[in-house]
Amino acid sequence: MMTRAYQEIYLSKAQTVLGDAFHYAVNTCDIPGNDFVKLFIASSVSKRMENGEPACLAGKSGIEIVIEIVAETKGQELHVEPQENFGRSREYWIGWAVAYYQWHSDRKYGDIFRVASFEDLQKMYYTLHEADITKFADIMDSRMKEYFSETNLKRIRTVYGFTQAELSERSGVGLRSIQMYEQRNKNINKASVDTVYRLARVLGCTMEDLIEK
């Protein structure tokens, strides 16, 4: 089972915070959506949210998060009064949905926005904002697999400079198994701990590095 950066009890708050942040940045502060995505990813806020830091997840409002992001990345102070928000705007939904998917997949925000741009997410809003959030997660999972087509095992093995046969010989894991993991014909997430440990030890990486998210 995947180990997530923070417990599910913080998830709803994290979604609200990022939803409010996107709404405030785009609709109140007039920061273009793509620009805010870049600022968010460049800031320490995105990393701290990924790591489950309580101050980011539950200690600040979405508005405070935006003020912090702009101050950190642009060196500017924002003094824009928030407007009443009587419903979930499209921008709110984008932040809300992406926060869910980051928790669900344990992927980095940078990777998520690389696969689905702000414009892509705007288009998804119309068909998905009233659907169960798991539908959005399923679509994102499929986009992620398509975009990051190489498995972690193949990518790390290639960088390390081993052939499949060399990795098999050094790790003691069968060549056919390695081939099937790399072709996604077998799920490495369901491999025994011993198998993943032996592969990771030879490749000089952690077991987590080989797991597919």
Instruction: For residue range 6-46, list pLDDT tens digits in order.
Output: 899 999 999 999 999 999 999 999 999 999 999 999 999 99
Query: What's the pTM?
Result: 0.76
Higher pLDDT, 212 or 29: 29
16 in a domain, yes or no? Answer: yes
pLDDT average, residue stretch 167-173 = 97
Region 104-130: mean pLDDT is: 95
Buried b (16+ CB within 10 A) or exposed e, 43-78: bebbebbbeebeebbeebebbebbbbbbeebeeeeb
**Are 76 and 178 part of one and the same domain?**
no
Q: Cα(38)–Cα(36) distance, rounded to whole angstroms?
A: 5
Please state the rounded mean pLDDT for residues 118-140.
97
What's 168's domain CATH number? 1.10.260.40
- pLDDT tens, position by position, 50-102: 999 988 888 999 999 999 999 999 999 988 888 776 678 999 999 999 999 99
Stretch 91-119: mean pLDDT: 95
Same domain, 44 and 125: yes
Residue after which a domain boundary falls, among 102, 127, 147? 147
Residue 184 C-alpha from the chain's centroid: 21
Does some domain include residue 3? no
Predicted confidence band of residue 202 (pLDDT cuts 50, 70, 90): very high
Longest dimension (CA), the chain: 64
122 and 156 within one domain: no
Residue 192 inside a domain? The answer is yes
38, 117: one domain: yes
In this structure, are 53 and 107 located in the same domain? yes
Residue 148: per-residue pLDDT: 81
Domain that holds residue 159: 152-210
Boundary residue ending a domain (147, 163, 193): 147
96 and 143 part of one domain? yes
- Listed residues 147, 174, 201: the one ending a domain: 147
On the question of pLDDT at 1 being above 50, the answer is no
Q: What is the mean pLDDT of residues 172-176?
A: 96
Averaged confidence pLDDT in the chain: 93
In this prediction, residues 112-126 reach a mean pLDDT of: 96
The verdict on residue 2 lying in a domain is no
Tell me what the mean pLDDT of segment 109-138 comes to: 96
| 164-192 CB burial, b ≥16 within 10 A, e <16 | beebbeebebeeebbeebbeeeeebeebe
Are 156 and 141 in a shared domain? no
Q: What is the domain count for the chain?
A: 2
Q: How big is the chain by its Cα radius of gyration, in Å? A: 20
Q: Please, is 131 exposed, middle or buried when counting C-beta atoms within 10 Å of its C-beta (0-12, 13-18, 19+)?
A: exposed
Q: Are 135 and 68 within one domain?
A: yes
Q: Is residue 1 part of a domain?
A: no
Shared-domain flag, residues 12 and 99? yes
pLDDT at position 87 is 73
